[in-house]
């Protein structure tokens, strides 16, 4: 990749007649798959709007005497699978001087991630719009947050006790067991009362009863109906669901493990879930969220780095990146979004 040099000069949010100054905190940009990466889609849209875009990784952030700082690097992007970015000049900058900070670091949601949210919270206090809100990233664990919506969520248990977990599996006959801090279908297992490996699976997932794990009733609808990802912007769902169908030899509906995707309008059941979840997301400052629905039931609420933007755009179903940045501009400038989210 080539490197270009330009001046780094984030501005203040009061001047709304200029292009916005954007910082994206993400995983190493050289390691992403630009054909699938939603953060890359956001950078493309920001560049189209003339925004000043900068890039940083988690290790580039620090907090000094209550002020959030970062070693930020100018970045330009192009929709080219072989040469998708150019890095420019790097400089130390106060994070509060940016108009917008997109926190797009992938899980694991570990202590390092939590510490980074404290730094971003100080940037919020200094005037930056952080998407998603730093405190809400801590509050809304992607696996556990479904417990706040029991009326629309699949039966869910979070426990360390193996006896409690086994009782849940017996009650539902088949269950999905997964960790609370991973993504992409990693360490997600389907088990049942007849599984001879159930005890050792629970030993492993709870680290012999010292770590919490999540158990959820297995929803067979995933085979016929797939796992629907619905993206919400400021609590409002985009009109199209991205349905992921697991490979024949796998139970997981994750694109990263080979799930096939189909775009379609939301179902009535999915709309019911969105209506239950959306107002809470808006209240918590969770501006960009991806919920997962299997059949009639909510299974996850993804708040750290939801994906699906590129797939929806390729299908011609919805330009989510444009809708999201409309909402971001509205938050920063106080104007109404130029695109209305369709229900």
Pair 30, 134 in one domain: yes
- Say whether 252 is catalytic: yes
Which of 104, 133, 244, 284 is flagged as catalytic?
244
Q: What is the per-residue pLDDT for 122? A: 98
If asked whether residues 126 and 196 sit together in one domain, one would say no
Give percent of the chain above pLDDT 70: 92
Q: What residues have CB less than 8 Å from 277, skipping those under 6 apart? A: 149, 152, 232, 235, 291, 298, 301
Please tell me the distance from the alpha carbon of residue 24 to that of residue 212, in angstroms, as a whole number: 31
Catalytic-labelled residue, pool 121, 270, 292, 326 = 292
Q: What is the CATH number of the domain that holds 202?
A: 3.30.1490.20
> For residue 33, what is the domain's CATH number?
3.40.50.20
Average pLDDT, the chain: 91
Whether 322 is in a domain gets the answer no
Could you confirm whether 244 is annotated as catalytic? yes
| Nearest residue to 180 via CA among 257, 254, 108 | 108
β-bridge partners, 211: none
- Annotation says 268 is catalytic: no
Strand order in the sheet with 189-192: 156-159, 213-217, 174-178, 189-192
Secondary element (H or E) of residue 279: helix 268-283
| Residue 182 annotated among the catalytic residues of the structure | no
Residue 18 confidence (pLDDT) above 90: no
What are the tens digits of pLDDT across the range 20-59?
999 999 999 999 999 999 999 999 999 999 999 999 999 9
Instruction: State the catalytic residue, choosing from 300, 311, 326, 329.
Output: 300
Q: Is 211 a catalytic residue?
A: no
Closest CA to 229 of 215, 241, 216, 247: 241
Q: Is 18 a residue of the active site?
A: no
Whether residue 138 has pLDDT greater than 90: yes
Do 298 and 256 share a structural domain? yes
Query: Which residue is catalytic, options 97, 141, 302, 329?
Result: 302
Strands (E), 48-184: 52-56, 61-64, 67-77, 85-94, 100-103, 129-131, 156-159, 174-178
Contacts with 48 (C-beta within 8 Å, 6 or more apart), sequence order: none
Same domain, 55 and 133: yes
Candidate list 178, 266, 284, 331, residue with the active-site label: 178
Catalytic residue among 105, 122, 133, 143: 143
Range of the domain at 210: 155-217
Q: What integer pLDDT is reported at residue 16 of this predicted model?
A: 56
Q: Is 178 a catalytic residue?
A: yes
Using the 3D structure, point to which of 217, 250, 268 is the last residue of a domain.
Answer: 217
Does residue 15 belong to any structural domain of this protein? Answer: no
Q: What share of the chain is helix, strand, coil (3-state, %, to 5)?
A: 30, 30, 40
Asked whether residue 236 falls in the same domain as residue 260, the answer is yes
Domain at 253, CATH number = 3.30.470.20
Counted domains in the chain: 3
The proportion of the chain whose per-residue pLDDT surpasses 90, expressed as a percent, equals 83
* pLDDT above 90 (res 124): yes
Question: Does residue 236 or residue 4 have the better pLDDT?
Answer: 236
**For this structure, is 105 an active site residue?**
no
Candidates 105, 122, 217, 252; catalytic one: 252
CA neighbours within 13 Å on the CB side: how many for 95?
A: 32
Residue 3 has pLDDT above 50, yes or no: no
Q: What is the dihedral of CA 301, 306, 311, 317, to 10 degrees?
A: 60
CA distance from start to end of the chain: 41
Angle at 292 between CA 288 and CA 294, to 5 degrees: 160
pTM: 0.91
Q: Cα–chain-centroid distance for residue 236?
A: 15
Last residue of one domain, picked from the residues 168, 198, 217: 217
pLDDT given for residue 187 in this prediction = 82
Q: Is the peptide bond before 171 cis (omega within 30 degrees of 0)?
A: no
Specify whether 134 is located in the same domain as 159.
no
């Amino acid at each position: 990749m080539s490197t270009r040099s330009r001046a780094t000069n984030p501005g203040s949010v009061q001047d709304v007649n200029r292009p916005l100054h954007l910082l994206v905190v993400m995983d190493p940009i050289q390691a992403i798959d630009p054909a699938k990466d939603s953060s890359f889609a956001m950078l493309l849209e920001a560049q189209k709007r003339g925004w000043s875009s900068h890039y940083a990784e988690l290790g580039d952030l620090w907090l000094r005497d209550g002020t959030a700082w970062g070693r930020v690097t100018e970045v330009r992007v192009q929709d080219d699978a072989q040469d998708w970015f150019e890095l420019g000049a790097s400089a130390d900058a106060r994070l509060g001087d940016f108009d917008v900070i997109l926190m797009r670091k992938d899980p694991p949601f570990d202590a390092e991630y939590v510490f980074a949210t404290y730094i971003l919270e100080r940037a919020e206090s200094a005037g930056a719009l952080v998407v998603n809100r730093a405190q809400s990233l801590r509050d809304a664990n992607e696996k556990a947050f479904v417990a706040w919506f029991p009326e629309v969520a699949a039966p869910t248990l979070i426990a360390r006790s193996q006896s409690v977990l086994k009782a849940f599996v017996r009650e539902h006959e088949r269950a999905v067991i997964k960790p609370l801090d991973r993504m992409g279908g990693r360490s997600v297992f389907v088990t049942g009362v007849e599984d001879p490996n159930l005890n050792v699976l629970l030993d492993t997932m709870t680290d012999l009863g010292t770590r919490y794990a999540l158990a959820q009733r297995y929803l067979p609808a995933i085979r016929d109906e797939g796992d629907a990802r619905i993206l919400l912007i400021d609590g409002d769902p985009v009109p199209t669901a991205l349905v992921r169908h697991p490979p024949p030899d796998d139970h997981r509906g994750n694109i990263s493990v080979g799930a096939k995707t189909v775009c379609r309008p939301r179902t009535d059941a999915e709309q019911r879930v969105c209506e239950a979840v959306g107002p809470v997301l808006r209240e918590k400052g969770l501006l960009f969220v991806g919920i997962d629905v299997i059949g009639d039931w909510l299974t996850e609420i993804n708040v750290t780095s939801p994906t699906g933007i590129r797939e929806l755009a390729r299908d011609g179903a919805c330009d989510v990146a444009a809708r999201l940045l409309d909402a971001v501009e509205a938050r920063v400038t106080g104007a109404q979004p130029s695109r209305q989210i369709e229900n």
